[in-house]
Structure 1
């Protein structure tokens, strides 16, 4: 007996079908939506929507204000990236990745001494809520 695993790289045509299906059926009908995509499971469709296709997700550079909000939320809700994400309009993965980047910058700035970036400076010596 062979177990078939759905998946592979998402094609543009699959993305378009997924977008149209979400518009038609909403964000709670993943089994129904996945039935339109032979190679994708309900879980894969949901993940693709929430991690990439959802128009509310920002894909631009982070602003200073977004970074400050991220730093503040990470302090009061350590490791709660799925809770933080919708507040800053990013995915949980984007939040974690950018936070780690800011931590790295803070560590480098601390090693380099005076004249460090303010966002990085705020992180220097802070607890690490990864």
Structure 2
């Protein structure tokens, strides 16, 4: 067996602009349940669900785009990727007392073990990584 190869399992879902973010959370929760995380790593599940909410909301509200949600588990990290058609790169902003929004990427930064943005020819993909805490 090639020691450099990696075994992974993954899921993908398209979330049209008119879909509710709850549909994304429910879909993600079901897949995390199949991994056993809802009982073994409930805090990580909560972090993943909040991150998915933020990233899909950003795709819908800020990019005015459908969201392509892909999750990949490689026995070390759950990679949660959301693609949208905007080339604007998200970044944590200082919260403002005048605005109720603008804290999404601060939450992602606090919840995910790591996150990064990958520019693509037709938009960008934001990928957050989570390692389950048992």
Q: What range describes the TM-score normalised by the shorter chain of this pair?
A: under 0.3
Normalized per residue, the structure richer in strand is 2
What TM-score do you get using the length of structure 1 for normalisation? 0.27
Bigger Rg over Cα = 1
Normalized per residue, the structure richer in helix is 1
What TM-score do you get using the length of structure 2 for normalisation? 0.26
| Higher RCO (Cα < 8 Å, 6 or more apart) | 2
